[in-house]
Structures are given as C-alpha cells and as structure tokens.
Structure 1
Amino acid sequence: MKYISTRGGGEPLSYTEALLEGLARDGGLAVPETMPRVEPETLERWRALTYPQLATEVLGLFATDIPRDDLARMTAAAYAAFPSEVVPLRSIGDGLTLVGLSEGPTLAFKDMAMQFLGQVLEYALARTGAVLNVLGATSGDTGSAAEHALRGKDRISVFMLSPRGRMSAFQRAQMFSLDDENIHNIAIDGVFDDCQNLVKQLAGDIAFKQANHLGAVNSINLARITAQSVYYFWAWLRATDAGGPREVSFTVPSGNFGNVLSGFYAKRMGLPIRRLVLATNENNVLDEFFRTGVYRPRTAAETLATSSPSMDISKASNLERFIFELVGRDPQLVVQAWTELDEQGFFDASADQPRFAGEFGLVSGTSTHDDRIQTIRQVHAAAGDIIDPHTADGVKVAREHVEPSVPMLVLETAKPQKFAETIREALGVDLEYAPDVRAMLDAPQHVTEMADDARALRAFIEAAALRGATVGETAVGADRHDS
C-alpha cells in the first residue's frame, strides 16, 4: 500500500514515510493510492477479536510496510491503558446507542488514535535513527491526547498551539500541567483556525520543515485517520447480528472533519454504513457545505466561542480528503477548488451536492447551546447518563436522522468532567473528581503565550527543536511562564 498527495505532487510513500511527513510537500494530504476492501466474510471472522486484535487487522490493511508481529505489539501497547472492552456501547433511549470512545488516559476520543500514533511514531523513528519535532494545533482534546501519548519520548518533541482562553479549564490543565522537557505548550492570541494556519504555514515551508524535522499529529496525519476507522468496525460488529451485513448509521460530532472522515473511509472499505451524520455546533460551516455544496469558511472574528469548544473550527483540514474523492481523485480539480477558496473565500460544489447523501451517505445538522443543555437534561432523565456538550451536539442531530430498523450509533467524544461548567448549567450538579484529577487541576501550569506571528513561532521552534538523530539531544527554548 502506497500513499499519494491529494494535490498530485511527490512520489508515493509508504505508511511510515507518510506518517513522518505529515503535510505533503505540495501542501496536500496523504491518501491511500487505492482504498483497501473488507469482504463480508472477513467481517464475520472479526467478531471474536479483542479491540487490539481488530486494530491489528484493520491497520494491517494500511500499514503494509510494518511486519504484522510488530503491529500487533504496538496495538496491544496502545490500548493497554484502556478498560478490557476498550470501546463499550450503551443505549440511551430513542433508538440511540452511544459508542464509548473516552475511556483512555485523557478522557476523550482522541486517545483512540493518539495512543497508537505514539507507538508507531517511536517505532518508525527507531528504525530510521531520526528525530521528530511535532507541530500541532488543538481546539482542546487533540493537544492533551498527543502530549500524554508522546511525553518523555526521547526522539520526539511536541510544540502544541492552542487558542488562548478558548479551551475549558480542564482541557488547559491537562496540557499545561505537564512539565516534561519535550512538551512545549504555546497559547496563540487567536482562534483555533489561526493556530491551524500557523501549522500549515510552517509545514508548507519545505526548507524550514526539513531543517527542523517537523511532523504532525493533527488529523492531517493519516495514521490518526486509519486508527480511528477501527472503532467504526468495532461498533458495527457489536450493533449487528452474525450471519450477514446489516446497515447502521453513525452520528459524529465534528469540527475538523477527521473523525467523520474515518467513518467515510470505513464505508469505502465495505463496512455497511447507511448514513454518516455530521453534527456541528454554531460554527456550522460544514453543515452549510453538506446542505448547499458551498464551502465558505469563516474568519477568525466570525468564529464563535461556544460551550462545545473542541468544535469551534471554521476551516476543516480533512475536508480536502473528501473533495479528492468527490472529484474522482483528480488532484488538479482539488488544486482548483483550493485556489478558488484562497482567491474568493469559498468554492462551489453545489452541482455535486445531491451525491453527498446519495452516493456517499453524508448528511448533517447543527446544534446550539440551548440544544446542548436540553439534550444533556433529556439523556440524564431518560437513561441516567451524563454526556459532555459535544456528544450532546451529536445526540441532538442524531435524533433528526433516525430511521426505522436502522441502528443509530452516536460517537461519544469526551467525559463530562472535562466540561464541568456546562454540566453544572444543565443539571445543577458539580461532578466529582478523583484525587489525581484534582491534583492535576491544582498543579502549576506551564505555557508560553504568543501573538499570531509565524516569525515568533519559527524562532521558538528553532531554539527548542530536537536536532540530528541523537537521542535526547534537546535545546532549551524560550522561557515558559506559569499561569
């Protein structure tokens, strides 16, 4: 299996090569040269597998350059910190089932891919003798999941950008309380899209990228997308009966289009998915696109701060991978669409919009703050479950797309403890924290605040980046301060 760029440049890469490169050199994203297929009889054979075993099978279709025994060892290590079931399913009434994706160390679905990514990055770097300086952006959960997966690793340093003041107190504490030498938290004066733009700007500078060994762990990294596709297979296997394919639908709270893209890939691989329902919050650029076919990202000033902050995104990086499929995998048409986006602030795919729900099974909806509060109350009253605000966005939109005899599975995004203020508003309760969580919340926080300035970020990375291929060869960067 080889990987090509959505924009057509460069030579095809292996899985580990694409993993280490992150953003392609032509500014595009890595995609499989051909999508692997899973036959119905293979799905049936997978029913008895544990989650790590299933991950080995699914990821083995993508990571063909990694020996199967090595891959099995990495998946076992990646999910060792999870409960034995790893991804539990539970009914919440109204024909909806939650897919529990927040059982990992940072209590969010990002752990599902990031724990594997930590394993495979370390493996790939050990094989090559190289180092990697990870440059990422987070709207909340990606940063903590990445840092907890990569902290203390000798060949990796992490530079994580976050929008100053835009995350929950819990999300900030999970990141900023870390004091490992290889973790660098940078709070940018702006919104998530500003952080993401800085990442793309530096990653697109090939000379700077090579000189500073830059890589990515955002969902632009294909390993994240492939690892996330595993739980779609897992959930389908537990929501259906043996004996033959039966369609289910998934609702996915989405900001950067990475999680729902993983489901789209699973569907393209042959998993019997009827609908992929994309749920947005008030920053509903993606909902507008899937309803109208016009993609019009908002400016930073137009991007709202909401009570589901991890979805406060207006420029969805992974949409490019969907557009690549939409235009028949023609990289010239992808470049044309993004050129139009740069020049006029939007591109128009309305002629293809009927294919979204038809050929691709993709539909969408929007949820507001009032919807989230009401949904949290309703789920708690009906099922005794407390769900986080992003999952509430998913539940609200899922209810609008339930079909008779088609199971509707809603992907849980995080534990409610990460968003205590919203839970208090909805239910009037203060959630209890374990002693170790309380200690984290009370710990000193280490973060560098920075303007939305590519030159300042370049200087910071050049001072603190790992150099060469020598393990543990770190330099001290710009001074952190406690906040």
Structure 2
Amino acid sequence: MKYISTRSSGLGRRYSFLEILLGGLAEDGGLYIPVQYPRVSDAELSHWRTLSYSDLAFEILKKFCNDIPVNDLLALTRRTYRADVYSNIRDASGSERITPLRTLGIEGGTPLSLLELSNGPTLAFKDIAMQLLGNLFEYALAAYHDQKLNILGATSGDTGSAAEYAMRGKCGMRVFMLSPYHKMSAFQTAQMFCLQDQNIFNIAVEGVFDDCQDIVKAVSNDCTFRKKYQIGTVNSINWARINAQVIYYFRGYFDATCHNNQRVSFTVPSGNFGNICAGHVARMMGLPIEKLVVATNENDVLHEFFRTGKYRSRSAAEIYHTTSPSMDIAKASNFERFIFDLLGCNSKRVLQLFCDLETNGSFDLSMSSDFTRVQRFGFVSGCSTHTDRISTIRDIYRRYQVIIDTHTADGVKVAREYLEPGIPMIVLETAQPIKFRDTIREALDLDPPCPPAFNKLETLPQRFTVLPADAACIKDFIRAQIDI
C-alpha cells in the first residue's frame, strides 16, 4: 500500500503508511490518499461479522498500513479498543461493543438507529480515532529511534480534548492545540483547559475555528519550520484519522444487517468532512452503503455544494456561532480527498480548484459533467437550524426516552429527509449531551446525565494561553516551549 498527494498523484513521490503517519499535509499542500482503495470480498465481509471490534480494526488497518508487522499491529488495536477505555456507556449495551448500535424505532418503513461513538474518555466520537493515533505515534517514534513529535492541531470542540487525552503522558510528544477563544461550550473548554500535563499546551486563539485551521495549514506548509521543530498533526487531514474512522462504518453495517446483500445508509453531522470521508472510503472498499447523507448546521458550506455544485468558503463575518459549534466551519479541510475521487484522480484539476478556492474563495462545478457523478458516490445532503435541533431533541426524547446532543440532532433531522423503506438508516452520534448542557436544558428543561468522572469538571483550575490569530505568533510560542 502506497500513498500519493491529491495535488501531484501522477508525478509525485509515493509514500508508505509510516512515512505519512507523523505528518499532515503533503509537501505540495495536498492531502495523502491511497494510490488505490483496497477492495473487500464477500468472504471477508462474512468473516469480519464474527470479529471483536479490535480484531475488526486489525483486519481493516492491515490493508492500509502493511509496513507495520502484523503482530505489532494486532497488539496496537487490542491495546486501543478495550472495554475499560470505552466505559462511559449510558445503558446496558456493554462497553465491549466499543460502538454499540442503538435502534430508536421504525420510521418511514425502516429502522432508524444511532451508532454510539462517544463512550470513550472525552465523550466524543473523536476518541475512536485519537486513541489509536496516540498508540500509533508512540510506536512510530520508537521505530524511528526516539524521534520527538510536536503535534499542532486545531479544534472547534471535540478534536482538541480527544487528542490531548490520547497523547497526555506519551513519551517524546508535545501537543499544541489551537481553539477559538470563547467559541466552545463550557464543558468542551473545561475538558481541554483543565489538563495540567506538562506536554499539553492549550492556545486560545482570538478568532474563529477557521483561523485556527488556517494557522495549522500555514505552519504545515512552512517545510523548514515543520522539519526543524518536528511538527505533526492530529486533525483529520492526517490520513490515519480517516483510516481509524472507517472501522466503525463496517461495525455499524454488521450490527444493522444479517447478510451481505443488504444495504444501509449513514447520516453524518459534518463540518470538516473528515467523519463522512471515512464513510466514502468504506464505500469505495465495497461496503454496501446506499446513501451517505451529509448533515450540516446553519454553516451549510457542504450542503450548498451537494445541492448546487458550488463550493464557497465563508468569511469570519459570515460564520454563524450555533448550538452545534463543532460544525461552525467555513471551509472543510478534508473535502479535497473527495474532490480528487470525483474528478477521476486528476491532480492537476484538483490543484487548480483549490488554488481558486484560496484566491477567490470558491470554485464552481455546477456546469461540469463531473458534478453529475456525485450521485454515483451516494452523497446527498441537508441542513438544520437551532429551531430544528431543539425540536428534534424534544421529539427523540418524547418518542424514545433518549437524550441526544445537538450535533446528533442535526443528523437525525436530516436523516429523516432521506429514509427509504427497507434501507436501515444509521445516524452517527457525535458526543454525549452533557457537553451541551445549556441547549439540552432549553429543549427538555432538565439536565442531561453526566458520567461520574466529569461531575466537577467545570470547577477545576484551567491552564491556557491567549494569542492572536497569527501564524507567526503561534510559531514563536512553539519555539519558546521547545527551545527551553
């Protein structure tokens, strides 16, 4: 298995999995993607149905990272996907399932289900990938003879805490996490800022999430700085994040079906296109997915593209600060991977389109024959508003006595627009509702349940640094910590 950049696929260098693991962007500014997606046979699907989550992860990952010895990879997946790590369950479903499927009921002639992805240490779906990433990084650093890694990331809510909890205490690693100051929920902020580990540095940026994301890309594109200070990333531009998320699409499919000729649809609340990109990869591997439903909030950049063929990033002034804040994103950094596939792996056109995006703030495929190919990849989309999510939270609680978080509510709202008789609909849950207590109170006039370990989280002392939205300032801060 080799990897190429979305911007130089024909002429560029080919990389192994371990070579791209510790980095983020390719040197030409593109994103890494496999030369070709591995295909899964019917016999493999049947066998995989019988496996534990950790062993399923091993089978899928070994198709993508065959430069890690199989015994080492199996040990990594079994160390990562353990019941005690994913113990924040809310019912009797059993933490050994890791990502249990909860069927809400029959709607539109089909089962409507939630794939629970938030039973990990930070109560968000990001844990599923980050816990693996932390162990992979540690393995790779040891393989490269005690190399150091300084992780630079950006978060709009859950990526930061998931990364920090996965990397805290890891030998040879520091984490520099950028987040938009005063733009996350109080619970999300406390999860990150209360950490006192000496290898964790929280930077509150005076701006919006996209400022944070742009800084990460700017630093990653400074090859001299990146190499000197050994900068890596945990954002979903890192291919290993996508790889890890592919696993739970297969698990969700197996739990929702009895045999391999059945098809299912997935709805994914999405702002940065990372989570649903993993679904796209699973579908390209041969998983029988009918539709991939992109659910956005008021910041409907992705919905606008799938509806019109026009992709237009938003300025900071155009971003809505919503009650599903992890999707308050103006530019989906993972979208380039899908566009690469949509354009038939034409890296020259990808480069031109994303140069247009940087220069003009948009590109337009509405009049191109390529846009008509979107339906071949199964993508549809919809959007949700604050009124919608409040209504959906109330309705799900009234019907099923289940409390869902605000992002999952956006997913359920849009999923209901695409229900098809006989095709199970699985909504990917994004977080536990305690992370958005104020909105749950508004919807239900009650507090959501809180795992005991988090009862006093928001009263703990916090440690963070406020900096302007300026890449040079962030570099200076990183230098100062590393050069001590």
Normalising TM by the smaller chain, what interval? over 0.9
Within the alignment, does 1:445 sit opposite 2:462 as a pair?
yes
Aligned to 1:460: 477
Matching of residues 176-325 of structure 1 within 5 Å: 176-242=193-259, 244-325=260-341
CA distance in 2, matches of 1:236, 1:432: 28
SS of structure 2 residue aligned to 1:400: helix
In structure 2, give the amino acid aligned to 1:89: L
In structure 2, give the amino acid aligned to 1:27: G
SS of structure 1 residue aligned to 2:381: strand
CA distance in 2, matches of 1:288, 1:429: 35
Matching of residues 32-51 of structure 1 within 5 Å: 32-51=34-53
Within the alignment, does 1:163 sit opposite 2:180 as a pair?
yes
Matching of residues 3-82 of structure 1 within 5 Å: 3-8=3-8, 10-80=12-82, 81-82=85-86
Residue 380 (structure 1) aligned to one of 367, 384, 397: 397
CA distance in 1, matches of 2:308, 2:208: 25
TM-aligned CA deviation for residue 349 of structure 1: 1.2
Tell me how many residue pairs correspond in the alignment.
465
CA distance in 1, matches of 2:358, 2:122: 36
- Greater shift, 10-19 or 138-147, is seen at 10-19
CA distance in 2, matches of 1:418, 1:439: 13
TM-aligned CA deviation for residue 163 of structure 1: 0.4
TM-aligned CA deviation for residue 140 of structure 1: 0.4
Deviations 1:166-194 (A, max 9, x none): 10001001100001011000010111100
TM-aligned CA deviation for residue 457 of structure 1: 0.6
Within the alignment, does 1:102 sit opposite 2:118 as a pair?
yes
In structure 2, give the amino acid aligned to 1:356: V
SS of structure 1 residue aligned to 2:49: helix
In structure 1, give the amino acid aligned to 2:327: M
Question: Aligned Cα RMSD in Å?
Answer: 1.0
CA distance in 2, matches of 1:434, 1:110: 18
- Point out where structure 2 has 5 or more consecutive residues left out of the alignment: 87-94
CA distance in 2, matches of 1:232, 1:432: 27
CA distance in 1, matches of 2:316, 2:76: 39
Aligned to 2:384: 367
CA distance in 2, matches of 1:427, 1:33: 49
Deviations 1:280-327 (A, max 9, x none): 000001000011110001001111100000000010000000111111
Conservation of the 8 A alpha-carbon contact between 1:40 and 1:245? no
CA distance in 2, matches of 1:376, 1:438: 23
Deviations 1:39-75 (A, max 9, x none): 1111001111000000000011001101111111111
- Greater shift, 315-324 or 429-438, is seen at 429-438
TM-aligned CA deviation for residue 343 of structure 1: 2.3
Within the alignment, does 1:174 sit opposite 2:191 as a pair?
yes
CA distance in 2, matches of 1:328, 1:431: 46
Judged with a 3 Å threshold, the aligned counterparts in structure 2 of structure 1 residues 132 and 10 are, in CA distance, closer, same or farther, namely farther
CA distance in 2, matches of 1:66, 1:57: 13
Within the alignment, does 1:430 sit opposite 2:447 as a pair?
yes
Deviations 1:16-48 (A, max 9, x none): 111112111111100001110001111001111
- Greater shift, 42-51 or 92-101, is seen at 92-101
CA distance in 2, matches of 1:438, 1:230: 31
CA distance in 2, matches of 1:248, 1:431: 30
In structure 1, give the amino acid aligned to 2:302: L
CA distance in 2, matches of 1:172, 1:343: 33
Aligned to 1:353: 371
CA distance in 2, matches of 1:391, 1:415: 9
- Point out where structure 1 has 5 or more consecutive residues left out of the alignment: 466-474, 477-483
Conservation of the 8 A alpha-carbon contact between 1:250 and 1:277? yes
TM-aligned CA deviation for residue 432 of structure 1: 4.2
CA distance in 1, matches of 2:78, 2:416: 36
CA distance in 2, matches of 1:217, 1:453: 20
Conservation of the 8 A alpha-carbon contact between 1:340 and 1:347? yes
Deviations 1:408-460 (A, max 9, x none): 00000000011100100000002343443123221101110011111111100
In structure 1, give the amino acid aligned to 2:298: E
In structure 1, give the amino acid aligned to 2:228: A
CA distance in 2, matches of 1:355, 1:330: 14
SS of structure 2 residue aligned to 1:431: coil
TM-aligned CA deviation for residue 356 of structure 1: 1.3
Deviations 1:82-127 (A, max 9, x none): 2211011111222310001011110000001000000101000100
Deviations 1:358-399 (A, max 9, x none): x11000000000000000000001111000000000000000
SS of structure 2 residue aligned to 1:113: helix
Aligned to 1:131: 148
Conservation of the 8 A alpha-carbon contact between 1:6 and 1:321? yes
Matching of residues 388-407 of structure 1 within 5 Å: 388-407=405-424
CA distance in 2, matches of 1:219, 1:344: 24
TM-score between the two structures when normalised by the length of structure 2:
0.95
CA distance in 2, matches of 1:286, 1:405: 27
In structure 2, give the amino acid aligned to 1:97: S
In structure 2, give the amino acid aligned to 1:92: L
TM-score between the two structures when normalised by the length of structure 1:
0.95
Conservation of the 8 A alpha-carbon contact between 1:163 and 1:189? yes
CA distance in 2, matches of 1:403, 1:305: 33
Residue 103 (structure 2) aligned to one of 86, 91, 107: 91
Percent identity of equivalent pairs = 55
CA distance in 1, matches of 2:161, 2:299: 22
CA distance in 2, matches of 1:245, 1:71: 30
Conservation of the 8 A alpha-carbon contact between 2:403 and 2:448? no
SS of structure 1 residue aligned to 2:188: helix
Conservation of the 8 A alpha-carbon contact between 1:291 and 1:353? no
Judged with a 3 Å threshold, the aligned counterparts in structure 2 of structure 1 residues 205 and 389 are, in CA distance, closer, same or farther, namely same
SS of structure 1 residue aligned to 2:420: coil
Aligned to 1:142: 159
In structure 2, give the amino acid aligned to 1:88: P
Conservation of the 8 A alpha-carbon contact between 1:10 and 1:25? no
SS of structure 1 residue aligned to 2:283: helix
SS of structure 2 residue aligned to 1:75: helix
Conservation of the 8 A alpha-carbon contact between 1:308 and 1:389? yes
